[in-house]
Structure 1
Protein backbone atom coordinates (compact mmCIF):
# COMPACT_ATOMS: atom_id res chain seq x y z
CA UNK A 1 0.00 0.00 0.00
CA UNK A 2 1.40 3.38 -0.99
CA UNK A 3 -1.49 5.82 -0.69
CA UNK A 4 -4.19 6.63 1.83
CA UNK A 5 -7.69 5.54 0.83
CA UNK A 6 -9.11 8.56 2.68
CA UNK A 7 -7.04 11.49 1.37
CA UNK A 8 -4.74 9.99 -1.27
CA UNK A 9 -1.45 11.01 0.35
CA UNK A 10 1.47 8.74 1.18
CA UNK A 11 1.31 6.13 3.94
CA UNK A 12 4.09 4.64 6.02
CA UNK A 13 4.24 1.47 8.08
CA UNK A 14 4.36 2.15 11.81
CA UNK A 15 4.18 0.09 14.99
CA UNK A 16 1.66 1.95 17.15
CA UNK A 17 2.04 2.15 20.92
CA UNK A 18 0.57 -0.94 22.63
CA UNK A 19 0.02 -2.69 19.27
CA UNK A 20 1.76 -5.84 18.07
CA UNK A 21 1.40 -5.41 14.29
CA UNK A 22 2.80 -2.70 12.03
CA UNK A 23 0.02 -0.70 10.34
CA UNK A 24 -0.06 1.61 7.33
CA UNK A 25 -0.72 5.15 8.58
CA UNK A 26 -1.34 8.20 6.41
CA UNK A 27 1.42 10.80 6.73
CA UNK A 28 -1.15 13.59 6.28
CA UNK A 29 -4.52 12.67 7.85
CA UNK A 30 -3.17 9.94 10.21
CA UNK A 31 -5.81 7.43 9.08
CA UNK A 32 -4.88 3.92 10.21
CA UNK A 33 -5.31 1.29 7.49
CA UNK A 34 -6.06 -2.13 8.95
CA UNK A 35 -5.31 -5.18 6.83
CA UNK A 36 -7.72 -7.94 7.76
CA UNK A 37 -8.29 -11.47 6.49
CA UNK A 38 -10.83 -12.17 3.78
CA UNK A 39 -13.87 -14.19 4.82
CA UNK A 40 -14.91 -17.07 2.58
CA UNK A 41 -18.27 -18.81 2.97
CA UNK A 42 -19.20 -22.18 1.58
CA UNK A 43 -21.45 -25.18 1.95
CA UNK A 44 -21.46 -28.95 1.81
CA UNK A 45 -24.73 -29.57 -0.06
CA UNK A 46 -25.90 -33.12 0.66
CA UNK A 47 -28.71 -35.53 -0.11
CA UNK A 48 -28.68 -39.00 1.44
CA UNK A 49 -25.17 -40.38 0.86
CA UNK A 50 -24.40 -37.93 -1.96
CA UNK A 51 -22.59 -34.61 -1.91
CA UNK A 52 -22.76 -31.93 -4.58
CA UNK A 53 -19.46 -30.67 -5.98
CA UNK A 54 -18.63 -28.08 -8.62
CA UNK A 55 -15.82 -28.30 -11.16
CA UNK A 56 -14.05 -24.93 -11.17
CA UNK A 57 -14.05 -23.01 -14.44
CA UNK A 58 -11.68 -20.31 -13.16
CA UNK A 59 -8.19 -20.16 -11.70
CA UNK A 60 -6.87 -21.02 -9.26
CA UNK A 61 -7.46 -24.77 -9.51
CA UNK A 62 -9.41 -24.62 -12.78
CA UNK A 63 -10.76 -28.09 -13.62
CA UNK A 64 -10.65 -29.27 -10.00
CA UNK A 65 -13.64 -30.14 -7.80
CA UNK A 66 -14.83 -28.01 -4.91
CA UNK A 67 -17.95 -27.33 -2.89
CA UNK A 68 -19.78 -24.05 -3.57
CA UNK A 69 -17.89 -21.23 -1.86
CA UNK A 70 -16.57 -17.74 -2.34
CA UNK A 71 -15.84 -14.39 -0.77
CA UNK A 72 -18.41 -12.87 1.53
CA UNK A 73 -19.80 -9.49 0.47
CA UNK A 74 -20.30 -6.39 2.62
CA UNK A 75 -23.84 -6.41 4.02
CA UNK A 76 -24.21 -10.21 4.02
CA UNK A 77 -24.51 -12.63 6.89
CA UNK A 78 -22.42 -15.80 6.70
CA UNK A 79 -25.56 -17.75 5.85
CA UNK A 80 -26.69 -15.37 3.12
CA UNK A 81 -23.22 -15.37 1.57
CA UNK A 82 -23.05 -19.16 1.51
CA UNK A 83 -26.48 -19.39 -0.12
CA UNK A 84 -25.60 -16.71 -2.69
CA UNK A 85 -22.38 -18.49 -3.64
CA UNK A 86 -24.21 -21.82 -4.04
CA UNK A 87 -26.74 -20.19 -6.33
CA UNK A 88 -24.11 -18.26 -8.32
CA UNK A 89 -21.94 -21.33 -8.88
CA UNK A 90 -24.52 -24.09 -9.23
CA UNK A 91 -28.01 -22.54 -9.31
CA UNK A 92 -28.40 -24.50 -6.09
CA UNK A 93 -31.09 -23.86 -3.50
CA UNK A 94 -30.73 -25.45 -0.09
CA UNK A 95 -31.70 -25.38 3.56
CA UNK A 96 -28.90 -24.82 6.05
CA UNK A 97 -28.62 -27.66 8.55
CA UNK A 98 -25.81 -26.23 10.70
CA UNK A 99 -22.50 -24.42 10.73
CA UNK A 100 -20.13 -27.30 10.04
CA UNK A 101 -16.72 -25.75 10.53
CA UNK A 102 -14.05 -23.14 10.04
CA UNK A 103 -10.68 -23.25 8.32
CA UNK A 104 -7.98 -20.61 8.81
CA UNK A 105 -5.19 -19.96 6.36
CA UNK A 106 -3.09 -17.18 7.94
CA UNK A 107 -0.42 -17.43 5.23
CA UNK A 108 -2.81 -15.98 2.63
CA UNK A 109 -5.13 -14.14 5.03
CA UNK A 110 -8.30 -16.18 4.58
CA UNK A 111 -10.88 -17.65 6.95
CA UNK A 112 -13.44 -20.12 5.58
CA UNK A 113 -16.80 -20.90 7.22
CA UNK A 114 -18.66 -23.95 5.90
CA UNK A 115 -22.29 -24.94 6.36
CA UNK A 116 -23.84 -28.36 6.08
CA UNK A 117 -26.85 -27.97 3.77
CA UNK A 118 -29.78 -30.05 2.55
CA UNK A 119 -30.33 -29.79 -1.23
CA UNK A 120 -33.86 -28.60 -2.06
CA UNK A 121 -33.92 -28.23 -5.85
CA UNK A 122 -33.19 -30.72 -8.64
CA UNK A 123 -32.44 -28.23 -11.40
CA UNK A 124 -28.96 -27.23 -10.22
CA UNK A 125 -26.47 -26.72 -13.05
CA UNK A 126 -23.13 -25.17 -13.93
CA UNK A 127 -22.93 -21.38 -13.99
CA UNK A 128 -20.20 -18.92 -15.06
CA UNK A 129 -17.50 -19.97 -12.58
CA UNK A 130 -18.33 -23.68 -12.86
CA UNK A 131 -17.93 -26.05 -15.80
CA UNK A 132 -19.82 -28.97 -14.23
CA UNK A 133 -22.00 -29.70 -11.20
CA UNK A 134 -22.36 -33.26 -10.01
CA UNK A 135 -23.69 -35.31 -7.12
CA UNK A 136 -21.03 -37.74 -5.92
CA UNK A 137 -21.74 -40.76 -3.80
CA UNK A 138 -19.46 -40.45 -0.77
CA UNK A 139 -17.37 -43.47 -1.78
CA UNK A 140 -16.83 -41.98 -5.27
CA UNK A 141 -15.50 -38.52 -4.41
CA UNK A 142 -12.68 -37.71 -6.89
CA UNK A 143 -9.97 -37.30 -4.24
CA UNK A 144 -7.15 -36.82 -6.77
CA UNK A 145 -8.97 -33.87 -8.33
CA UNK A 146 -9.95 -31.81 -5.26
CA UNK A 147 -9.16 -28.10 -5.58
CA UNK A 148 -7.79 -26.95 -2.22
CA UNK A 149 -6.59 -28.36 1.13
CA UNK A 150 -9.57 -26.74 2.88
CA UNK A 151 -12.01 -28.55 0.56
CA UNK A 152 -10.28 -31.88 1.19
CA UNK A 153 -10.28 -31.15 4.94
CA UNK A 154 -14.08 -30.75 5.07
CA UNK A 155 -14.90 -33.54 2.62
CA UNK A 156 -12.83 -36.05 4.61
CA UNK A 157 -14.47 -35.01 7.86
CA UNK A 158 -17.94 -35.17 6.35
CA UNK A 159 -17.35 -38.71 5.08
CA UNK A 160 -16.00 -39.74 8.50
CA UNK A 161 -18.96 -38.13 10.30
CA UNK A 162 -21.44 -39.74 7.92
CA UNK A 163 -19.87 -43.14 8.53
CA UNK A 164 -19.90 -42.50 12.30
CA UNK A 165 -23.70 -42.70 12.60
CA UNK A 166 -24.07 -39.23 11.08
CA UNK A 167 -22.58 -37.46 14.09
CA UNK A 168 -21.91 -34.16 12.34
CA UNK A 169 -19.81 -32.17 14.77
CA UNK A 170 -18.11 -28.80 14.27
CA UNK A 171 -14.65 -29.05 12.68
CA UNK A 172 -11.73 -26.64 12.61
CA UNK A 173 -8.12 -26.80 11.51
CA UNK A 174 -7.16 -24.95 14.71
CA UNK A 175 -3.40 -25.16 15.17
CA UNK A 176 -2.86 -27.04 11.89
CA UNK A 177 -2.02 -24.43 9.29
Structure 2
Protein backbone atom coordinates (compact mmCIF):
# COMPACT_ATOMS: atom_id res chain seq x y z
CA UNK A 1 0.00 0.00 0.00
CA UNK A 2 1.38 3.38 -0.98
CA UNK A 3 -1.47 5.87 -0.60
CA UNK A 4 -4.33 6.47 1.83
CA UNK A 5 -7.78 5.47 0.58
CA UNK A 6 -9.29 8.32 2.65
CA UNK A 7 -7.21 11.32 1.50
CA UNK A 8 -4.74 9.95 -1.12
CA UNK A 9 -1.68 11.03 0.89
CA UNK A 10 1.32 8.70 1.25
CA UNK A 11 1.23 6.03 3.96
CA UNK A 12 4.05 4.71 6.12
CA UNK A 13 4.44 1.28 7.68
CA UNK A 14 4.67 1.76 11.47
CA UNK A 15 3.35 0.43 14.75
CA UNK A 16 0.56 2.84 15.79
CA UNK A 17 0.29 3.96 19.41
CA UNK A 18 -1.51 1.32 21.46
CA UNK A 19 -0.96 -1.38 18.80
CA UNK A 20 1.59 -4.19 18.56
CA UNK A 21 1.88 -4.76 14.80
CA UNK A 22 3.10 -2.70 11.87
CA UNK A 23 0.21 -1.07 10.00
CA UNK A 24 -0.01 1.32 7.08
CA UNK A 25 -0.73 4.74 8.58
CA UNK A 26 -1.52 7.90 6.62
CA UNK A 27 1.03 10.63 7.24
CA UNK A 28 -1.63 13.29 6.64
CA UNK A 29 -4.96 12.20 8.18
CA UNK A 30 -3.48 9.49 10.47
CA UNK A 31 -5.97 6.84 9.27
CA UNK A 32 -4.77 3.37 10.21
CA UNK A 33 -5.29 0.92 7.35
CA UNK A 34 -5.87 -2.54 8.77
CA UNK A 35 -5.32 -5.49 6.46
CA UNK A 36 -7.11 -8.70 7.37
CA UNK A 37 -7.24 -12.23 5.95
CA UNK A 38 -9.57 -13.01 3.06
CA UNK A 39 -12.31 -15.60 3.53
CA UNK A 40 -12.60 -18.29 0.85
CA UNK A 41 -15.95 -20.08 1.18
CA UNK A 42 -17.23 -23.10 -0.69
CA UNK A 43 -19.17 -26.33 -0.62
CA UNK A 44 -18.75 -30.07 -1.08
CA UNK A 45 -21.71 -30.80 -3.39
CA UNK A 46 -22.60 -34.50 -3.37
CA UNK A 47 -25.04 -36.62 -5.35
CA UNK A 48 -25.93 -40.00 -3.89
CA UNK A 49 -28.19 -42.56 -5.52
CA UNK A 50 -28.42 -46.33 -5.07
CA UNK A 51 -25.51 -46.33 -2.63
CA UNK A 52 -23.12 -44.54 -5.00
CA UNK A 53 -21.79 -41.16 -3.88
CA UNK A 54 -20.28 -38.62 -6.28
CA UNK A 55 -18.78 -35.19 -5.64
CA UNK A 56 -19.11 -32.24 -8.01
CA UNK A 57 -15.78 -30.65 -8.94
CA UNK A 58 -15.01 -27.65 -11.15
CA UNK A 59 -12.07 -27.33 -13.55
CA UNK A 60 -10.65 -23.84 -13.09
CA UNK A 61 -10.80 -21.40 -16.03
CA UNK A 62 -8.80 -18.74 -14.19
CA UNK A 63 -5.41 -18.38 -12.56
CA UNK A 64 -4.07 -19.41 -10.22
CA UNK A 65 -4.12 -23.10 -11.14
CA UNK A 66 -6.06 -22.81 -14.40
CA UNK A 67 -6.98 -26.28 -15.68
CA UNK A 68 -6.86 -27.91 -12.24
CA UNK A 69 -9.87 -29.28 -10.35
CA UNK A 70 -11.42 -27.69 -7.28
CA UNK A 71 -14.52 -27.65 -5.15
CA UNK A 72 -16.77 -24.66 -5.96
CA UNK A 73 -15.46 -21.84 -3.77
CA UNK A 74 -14.38 -18.23 -3.83
CA UNK A 75 -13.95 -15.04 -1.88
CA UNK A 76 -16.72 -14.00 0.47
CA UNK A 77 -18.36 -10.68 -0.37
CA UNK A 78 -19.36 -7.88 2.00
CA UNK A 79 -22.94 -8.12 3.32
CA UNK A 80 -22.89 -11.92 2.96
CA UNK A 81 -22.99 -14.70 5.53
CA UNK A 82 -20.64 -17.63 5.08
CA UNK A 83 -23.56 -19.86 4.10
CA UNK A 84 -24.76 -17.25 1.56
CA UNK A 85 -21.24 -17.19 0.10
CA UNK A 86 -21.11 -21.00 -0.19
CA UNK A 87 -24.45 -21.08 -2.04
CA UNK A 88 -23.51 -18.17 -4.33
CA UNK A 89 -20.08 -19.57 -5.22
CA UNK A 90 -21.56 -23.00 -5.96
CA UNK A 91 -24.16 -21.42 -8.26
CA UNK A 92 -21.61 -19.12 -9.95
CA UNK A 93 -18.90 -21.72 -10.55
CA UNK A 94 -20.96 -24.86 -11.12
CA UNK A 95 -24.48 -23.64 -11.89
CA UNK A 96 -25.60 -26.08 -9.19
CA UNK A 97 -28.63 -26.02 -6.92
CA UNK A 98 -27.70 -27.26 -3.46
CA UNK A 99 -29.17 -27.93 -0.06
CA UNK A 100 -26.49 -26.57 2.23
CA UNK A 101 -25.50 -28.62 5.26
CA UNK A 102 -23.24 -27.87 8.18
CA UNK A 103 -19.77 -26.35 8.15
CA UNK A 104 -17.27 -29.15 7.58
CA UNK A 105 -13.75 -27.66 7.36
CA UNK A 106 -12.07 -24.47 8.52
CA UNK A 107 -8.55 -24.31 7.10
CA UNK A 108 -6.13 -21.53 8.02
CA UNK A 109 -3.72 -20.65 5.22
CA UNK A 110 -1.77 -17.94 7.04
CA UNK A 111 1.09 -17.75 4.53
CA UNK A 112 -1.33 -16.31 1.93
CA UNK A 113 -3.54 -14.43 4.44
CA UNK A 114 -6.62 -16.60 3.87
CA UNK A 115 -9.11 -18.76 5.75
CA UNK A 116 -10.91 -21.45 3.71
CA UNK A 117 -14.26 -22.83 4.85
CA UNK A 118 -16.24 -25.64 3.21
CA UNK A 119 -19.82 -26.68 3.89
CA UNK A 120 -21.37 -30.08 3.29
CA UNK A 121 -24.00 -29.85 0.54
CA UNK A 122 -26.37 -32.08 -1.39
CA UNK A 123 -27.19 -31.46 -5.03
CA UNK A 124 -30.92 -30.93 -5.49
CA UNK A 125 -30.75 -32.06 -9.12
CA UNK A 126 -28.28 -32.76 -11.92
CA UNK A 127 -28.83 -29.41 -13.63
CA UNK A 128 -25.31 -28.00 -13.40
CA UNK A 129 -22.98 -26.36 -15.90
CA UNK A 130 -19.67 -24.48 -15.91
CA UNK A 131 -19.82 -20.84 -14.87
CA UNK A 132 -17.47 -18.13 -16.18
CA UNK A 133 -14.66 -19.25 -13.86
CA UNK A 134 -14.94 -22.95 -14.77
CA UNK A 135 -13.86 -24.85 -17.87
CA UNK A 136 -15.86 -27.92 -16.86
CA UNK A 137 -17.90 -29.35 -13.99
CA UNK A 138 -18.17 -33.06 -13.41
CA UNK A 139 -19.30 -35.63 -10.84
CA UNK A 140 -16.59 -37.95 -9.50
CA UNK A 141 -16.69 -41.05 -7.33
CA UNK A 142 -13.91 -41.30 -4.74
CA UNK A 143 -11.91 -43.55 -7.07
CA UNK A 144 -12.33 -41.17 -10.03
CA UNK A 145 -11.21 -37.96 -8.29
CA UNK A 146 -8.13 -36.56 -10.09
CA UNK A 147 -6.07 -36.37 -6.90
CA UNK A 148 -2.88 -35.31 -8.72
CA UNK A 149 -4.72 -32.53 -10.52
CA UNK A 150 -6.45 -30.86 -7.56
CA UNK A 151 -5.81 -27.12 -7.49
CA UNK A 152 -4.99 -26.43 -3.84
CA UNK A 153 -3.95 -28.22 -0.62
CA UNK A 154 -7.18 -27.06 1.03
CA UNK A 155 -9.19 -28.99 -1.57
CA UNK A 156 -7.13 -32.15 -1.10
CA UNK A 157 -7.36 -31.86 2.69
CA UNK A 158 -11.13 -31.25 2.65
CA UNK A 159 -11.73 -34.25 0.40
CA UNK A 160 -9.46 -36.46 2.53
CA UNK A 161 -11.43 -35.48 5.65
CA UNK A 162 -14.70 -36.04 3.78
CA UNK A 163 -13.89 -39.58 2.69
CA UNK A 164 -12.41 -40.44 6.08
CA UNK A 165 -15.65 -39.32 7.75
CA UNK A 166 -17.70 -41.04 5.04
CA UNK A 167 -16.51 -44.43 6.29
CA UNK A 168 -17.82 -43.51 9.76
CA UNK A 169 -21.14 -42.25 8.32
CA UNK A 170 -21.67 -45.60 6.58
CA UNK A 171 -21.42 -47.23 10.01
CA UNK A 172 -24.07 -44.94 11.49
CA UNK A 173 -21.85 -42.04 12.60
CA UNK A 174 -21.86 -38.40 11.53
CA UNK A 175 -19.61 -36.07 9.62
CA UNK A 176 -17.34 -34.19 12.01
CA UNK A 177 -15.96 -30.66 11.94
CA UNK A 178 -12.30 -30.28 10.98
CA UNK A 179 -10.00 -27.34 11.67
CA UNK A 180 -6.42 -27.31 10.47
CA UNK A 181 -3.51 -25.04 9.61
CA UNK A 182 -2.32 -25.62 6.05
CA UNK A 183 1.41 -25.02 5.94
CA UNK A 184 2.47 -27.05 2.91
CA UNK A 185 3.04 -24.98 -0.21
CA UNK A 186 0.98 -25.41 -3.32
CA UNK A 187 2.42 -27.88 -5.84
CA UNK A 188 3.58 -25.96 -8.90
CA UNK A 189 2.58 -27.27 -12.31
CA UNK A 190 5.18 -29.02 -14.44
CA UNK A 191 5.87 -27.99 -18.03
CA UNK A 192 3.45 -30.60 -19.38
CA UNK A 193 0.72 -30.00 -16.77
CA UNK A 194 -2.44 -28.06 -17.74
| TM norm structure 2 | 0.87
- Runs ≥4 in structure 1, deviation > 6 angstroms? none
Gaps spanning 5+ residues in structure 2: where? 184-194
After superposition, residues 113-124 of structure 1 pair within 5 angstroms as: 113-124=117-128
Cα distance per residue 1:70-101 (max 9 Å; x no partner): 00111111111111111111111101110111
Residues 1:67 and 2:74 aligned together: no
Partner of 2:167: 163
Distance 1:74 1:165 in 2: 35
After superposition, residues 38-49 of structure 1 pair within 5 angstroms as: 38-48=38-48, 49=53
Offset of residue 132 of structure 1:
0.9
Partner of 2:192: none
Distance 1:165 1:37 in 2: 33
Offset of residue 128 of structure 1:
1.1
Contact 2:165/2:175, CA 8 A, preserved across alignment: yes
Offset of residue 127 of structure 1:
1.6
Offset of residue 131 of structure 1:
1.0
**Aligned-CA RMSD value:** 1.1
Distance 1:136 1:17 in 2: 54
